[in-house]
Amino acid sequence: MPNLNINGRNMSVEAASDTPLLWVIREQLQMTGTKFGCGAGLCGACTVHLNGEAVRSCQTSLADAVGKKITTIEGLSAKGEHPLQKAWVAEQVPQCGYCQSGQIMQAAALLSKNTNPTKEEVVAHMDGNLCRCMTYSRIQKAIMRAASDMRTASATGSERRAT
Amino acid sequence: MNKHVKNLAPETTDLSRRSFLVGTAATGLVLGYAGSGIDQALAAPAPANFEPSVWYAIAPDGLVTVTCGKADMGQHVASTMAQIVAEELGANWKDMRVQLASNDPKFNDPVLGAQITGGSWSTMMNFDAMSRAGAAGRIALTEAAAASMGVPAGELVVRDSKISHPKSKKSMSFAEVVKSGKATKTFTADDLKAIKLKSPDQYTMIGVSVPQLDIPLKVNGTAKYGIDVMLPGMVYGALVTPPVRYGATVKSVDDSAAKKVPGFIKAVTLDDKTTTTTGWVVAVANTYANAKKAAAALKIDYDGGPNAKLSSESLLTEAKRLQGLSDSGQFFVKDGDPNAAFGTAAKVLEAEYTTNINIHAPMEPMNATAEFKGDILHIYSGNQFATRSGAIAAGAAGIDPKFVVMHQMWLGGGFGRRLDADMMVPAVQAAKAVGKPVKVIYTRENDMTMDFSRPLTYQKVKAGVDGDGKLVALSHDVVSAWPTQRWGIPDFLSPSVDKKGPLDAFTVNGSDFFYTVPNHYVRAIKNEMAHNATPSGQLRSVAPGWTFWAVESMVDEIAHATGKDPALLRVELLDGKGKNDGGAQRLRNTLLAAMGLAGYGTKKLPKGEGMGVACVSSQERATASWTACVAHVAVAPSGEVTVKKLTVATDVGTQVNPDGIRAQVEGAALWGMSLALFEKATLKDGGIEQTNFDSYTPLRMSQLPEVAVNVIANGEKATGVGEPAVTVVAPAIGNAVFNAVGARVRGLPITAEAVKAAMKA
């Protein structure tokens, strides 16, 4: 039985190695925050992190995920307090909310490398994630807010370390 | 206007014998309508003509849980209902909670008499009932607190979930009153009606952008949608749908290869007596991945049926043929005599406007989970029309609808798609066939090719202008499939003015606009061929999404033909005479607000850029939210249109949650833009050709224009915001393209090719 490292825990699963990671996460591990949208890598609703990179779990086989660190929306932060999640609430981003786990995971991969993105970088990074409610402008605002919060936190953290 | 229904289902009449109840049950204070058991025991003698409302309950810890009978598909309607209750109840927002109602008729809409969410109706139709429910709770709690404190109830002040007596400085929290068990009061229908509600100047909650209660669940993955339902022993169903949208039959199913797929249980060919689906097969297996593998391995032989050769072109040709017949269709509007007026008009304009098939494609593909438990069929699904969908599920199971319990979930997008009940049929019949709970999930390909789409429409508009440039006559023929007639509920149809039988007003709403035109005909013509080949549904904004495309484009054409400014011509036509008094003035003011916000006519735009206006009374004459748009576009020599800015003003009367309204209006405007420029589906050989987001392409972030929204709240009654802004954008963009480069495009979506062709013409 393959072992998956997901949200910091090792879990054994039972599925054929070509099974899309999406369905293993949703059905076997019953973590339903990761969503099925198109099954073809065209909408981004199923986005998770594989070793910190945003990937489409509907296009990732179980075999490809074994031995890597998988992070889902449930594991992005212990209490749902990632700066992006807080910003998503502050900007009141979600409408139906179905795509938002994927949007947040996609955005988190960007901010983990770049906490000062330009608007163009945000659009380029996020353009593969569809939102049928068309909450795009709030998504942009929330990403900028979270980036700003992360820069402030990191500046404060550096000052503390410096003193 | 449409006459909306009451008493869709016979059981709704039982509600007339129910009484509004305020009483303490074991779990806390319950407010709502007595149905059975402990509630019945507390109910008062039967009041007559009682209108239903939703429940809410206050627990001994003071938490107020509102049960929302409307489908929440992202419009935050559950939160809105809670906000209206909280205003009159006097509760603190942090104490408010929401839950979603089952299909129990006690949760029916108080105006519609059924559980249906659409039409941008929810806030306007529930505002009064929710307000009175909230006020009744406050009165009951106040009287109980007065008795406990030994002070006159009239001296108490209710605020932030607390009841205070300023003179004695005594106070009790809602929680304490509930715990005291003394809050028992029953309200008859007349008592409820007699409650004096707050006047808008007394509001402390309505008009405030409190945080939406469902949002925290939607940023951490815990919100449960239909697709997330997990039941013990549940197995999965994957669909095989035929190549033809409607009318195919299954001749044979060979499951020999499917049997080799691990976990495969059974292939179930649907026997759908509700005629919702045709030729569908479900492959059932232990996991969805295996069900999909099994579905792919099935070898199915079809008879394509009567629609197998039809295409978008055939539907359009048929629409034109029907429009050309003098006796087809029924009249929706018949004022004066346009044909006589055309004879004496100085100028007559004629134009054809079309829209292509459009697909809902909510991000959560259609799904349903069915479980038979004893005599009861349990359905878990996010659905907009529990009253009808429960009946369809019952029909698929061959049982009485009263044995169906619909468990409502959050909807991963609705947009009208989840008014339909097709997903119930495979889930129910698969669960019955395998004797286990079954969750059926559509692939995106199933979802797109089997959509109950916005129909292909064809409209012919003829306008007559007199020597002074005054619009004196307009005739407007609208040819389409009839989505609402398909429901088979006569009460949702409207009588025709020429008494030729009922028509589907949800194909012509909007054409009965607020412009003053002395001679005005609107004819609703059913395209039977399209109706059969592409069973259509209600797609966000429904008829006004195409009728205003035609009307607002034609008004622009008239302006140019008569040398008038298109916006000022509209102001002139909105003179508020006769039946248009009131509405016309509100729409005129809204248009002026949008023009002001956009800087219309105040700046010289660069070459290739232009501004266009449109204004609408969507969704229906009687339920209008007055909405206007100024679109600013840039058109490249290739014909490619870039929307630089959409400025939308909307008069909603009263706003419950201003931030929520802005979110809806912005989303709706972008839907309108997406339909105007990016979304097109086509029928070929009886099937929808687009199967996923590579070929059906809604707006993405990189295509986002600047959007400015101006919400006008003038103290009139609250109206709806989910749809109207969809309908104003396409004509505004089309008119802006004309303003920019002189190209008139009369078909949606507006493509670069069409613009380029019109530029040359």
Q: For residue range A93-113, what is the model confidence (pLDDT) as tens digits?
A: 999 999 999 999 999 999 999
Q: How confident is the model at residue B188 (pLDDT cuts 50, 70, 90)?
A: confident
Is residue B10 in some structural domain? no
> Across residues B641-669, what is the average pLDDT?
98
Q: Are residues B279 and B131 in the same domain?
A: no
The Cα B104–Cα B273 span in angstroms is 24
Instruction: Identify the domain boundary among B411, B441, B471.
Output: B441
pLDDT at site B35:
34
AA letter at B130: M
Q: How confident is the model at residue A21 (pLDDT cuts 50, 70, 90)?
A: very high
Taking Cα atoms as reference points, which of B457, B480, B453 lies closest to residue B534? B453
Q: Check CB contact under 8 Å for B216 and A93.
A: no
Count of CA atoms in the C-beta half-sphere (13 A) of A59: 13
Q: How confident is the model at residue B531 (pLDDT cuts 50, 70, 90)?
A: very high
Q: Which residue is closest to B293 within chain A, CA to CA?
A: A19
Least confident interval from B8-17, B249-258, B578-587: B8-17
B81 is written with which tokens? 């209902």
Q: What are residue B409's phi and psi, to 5 degrees? A: -125, 170
Measured between CA atoms, how close is B619 to chain A, in angstroms? 19
Is residue B21 in some structural domain? no
Specify which residues B65 forms β-bridges with: B57, B97
Q: Are residues B672 and B690 in the same domain?
A: yes
Rg of chain A on CA atoms, in Å: 16
Taking Cα atoms as reference points, which of B417, B416, B488, B546 lies closest to residue B119? B416
pLDDT at site B435:
98
Sign of CA dihedral B291, B295, B296, B299: positive
pLDDT at site B17:
28
Taking Cα atoms as reference points, which of B252, B243, B249 lies closest to residue B299? B252
Residue-wise pLDDT for B318-340, tens only, equals 999 999 999 999 999 999 999 99
Sequence-separated (6 or more) residues with CB below 8 Å from residue B234: B369, B371, B436, B437, B438, B439
CA A159 to chain centre: 29
Which class for B304: exposed (0-12), middle (13-18), buried (19 or more C-beta within 10 A)? middle
> Across residues B456-481, what is the average pLDDT?
97
Q: Are residues B100 and B127 in the same domain?
A: yes
The Cα B547–Cα B614 span in angstroms is 12
Q: What are residue B124's phi and psi, to 5 degrees? A: -65, -35
Q: Are residues B196 and B63 in the same domain?
A: yes
- Examine the pLDDT at B36 and tell me if it is beyond 90: no
pLDDT at site B645:
98
Is residue B15 in some structural domain? no
Q: Check CB contact under 8 Å for A23 and B227.
A: no
pLDDT at site A1:
78
The Cα B217–Cα A103 span in angstroms is 15
**Domains along the sequence of chain A with CATH:** 3-75 (3.10.20.30), 83-162 (1.10.150.120)
pLDDT at site B760:
84
Residue B356 in contact with residue B682, Cβ under 8 Å? yes
| Between residues B7 and B576, the one the model is more confident about | B576
Instruction: Identify the domain boundary among B387, B411, B441.
Output: B441
| Between residues B735 and B182, the one the model is more confident about | B735
- Examine the pLDDT at B23 and tell me if it is beyond 60: no
3-state secondary structure labels for all residues of B108-136: CCCCCCCCCCCCCCHHHHHHHHHHHHHHH
Q: What is the mean pLDDT of chain B?
A: 92
Measured between CA atoms, how close is B655 to chain A, in angstroms? 17
Residue-wise pLDDT for B238-248, tens only, equals 999 999 999 99
Instruction: Identify the domain boundary among B421, B441, B461.
Output: B441
The Cα B444–Cα B450 span in angstroms is 10
Is residue B549 in some structural domain? yes
pLDDT at site B761:
77
Sign of CA dihedral B494, B499, B501, B507: negative
- Examine the pLDDT at B33 and tell me if it is beyond 60: no
Q: Are residues B463 and B433 in the same domain?
A: no
Residues of chain A contacting B227 with CB distance shorter than 8 Å: 32, 35-36
- Examine the pLDDT at B680 and tell me if it is beyond 70: yes
Q: Are residues B511 and B467 in the same domain?
A: yes
Taking Cα atoms as reference points, which of B94, B184, B205 lies closest to residue B139? B184
**pLDDT above 90: percentage of residues in chain B:** 88
Q: Check CB contact under 8 Å for B363 and A96.
A: yes
pTM of the model: 0.94
Sign of CA dihedral A84, A87, A93, A98: positive
H/E stretch holding B597 reads: helix B583-598
Alpha helical stretches, state H, B325-450: 338-344, 386-397, 424-434, 444-449
> Across residues B503-514, what is the average pLDDT?
98
Give the strand order in the sheet containing B626-635.
B609-616, B626-635, B641-651, B706-712
Q: Check CB contact under 8 Å for B667 and A95.
A: yes
Q: How confident is the model at residue A159 (pLDDT cuts 50, 70, 90)?
A: low
pLDDT at site B25:
36
pLDDT at site B4:
45
Q: Check CB contact under 8 Å for B692 and A133.
A: no
Q: Are residues B153 and B240 in the same domain?
A: no
Which regions of B261-338 does DSSP assign to beta strands (E)? 264-269, 281-285, 299-303, 330-335
Q: Are residues B351 and B370 in the same domain?
A: no
Q: Check CB contact under 8 Å for B663 and A15.
A: no
- Examine the pLDDT at B46 and tell me if it is beyond 90: no
Is residue B7 in some structural domain? no
Q: How confident is the model at residue B54 (pLDDT cuts 50, 70, 90)?
A: low
Residues of chain A contacting B678 with CB distance shorter than 8 Å: none
Q: How confident is the model at residue B199 (pLDDT cuts 50, 70, 90)?
A: very high
Is residue B596 in some structural domain? yes
3-state secondary structure labels for all residues of chain A: CCEEEECCEEEECCCCCCCEHHHHHHHHCCCCCCCCCCCCCCCCCCEEEECCEEEEHHHCEHHHHCCCEEECHHHCCCCCCCHHHHHHHHCCCCCCCCCHHHHHHHHHHHHHHCCCCCHHHHHHHHCCCCCCCCCHHHHHHHHHHHHHHHHHHHHHHHHHHHC
Q: Are residues B735 and B633 in the same domain?
A: yes
Is residue B427 in some structural domain? yes
Find the domain containing B265 and state its range: 226-244+249-303+366-441
Least confident interval from B57-71, B161-175, B639-653: B57-71
- Examine the pLDDT at B182 and tell me if it is beyond 70: yes
* Alpha carbon separation from A101 to B211, B709, B745 (Å, rounded): 19, 27, 39
Domains contained in chain B, number: 3
Q: Are residues B212 and B318 in the same domain?
A: no
The Cα B2–Cα B22 span in angstroms is 35
- Examine the pLDDT at B24 and tell me if it is beyond 70: no
Residue B225 in contact with residue B364, Cβ under 8 Å? yes
Residues of chain A contacting B705 with CB distance shorter than 8 Å: none
The Cα B547–Cα B6 span in angstroms is 27
Q: Are residues B213 and B153 in the same domain?
A: yes
| Candidates B221, B363, B411; nearest CB to A43 | B363
Q: Check CB contact under 8 Å for B362 and A137.
A: no
Is residue B4 in some structural domain? no
Residue B276 in contact with residue B385, Cβ under 8 Å? no
Q: Which residue is closest to B446 within chain A, CA to CA?
A: A38
Domain CATH code at residue B102: 3.30.365.10
Q: Are residues B536 and B591 in the same domain?
A: yes
Residue-wise pLDDT for B5-19, tens only, equals 443 333 332 322 233
Residue-wise pLDDT for B99-136, tens only, equals 999 999 989 998 898 999 999 999 999 999 999 999 99
With tokens 């929307």, the residue in question is B643
Checking ipTM against 0.90, whether it exceeds it is yes
Q: How confident is the model at residue A162 (pLDDT cuts 50, 70, 90)?
A: low
Judged by DSSP in three states, B38 sits in: helix
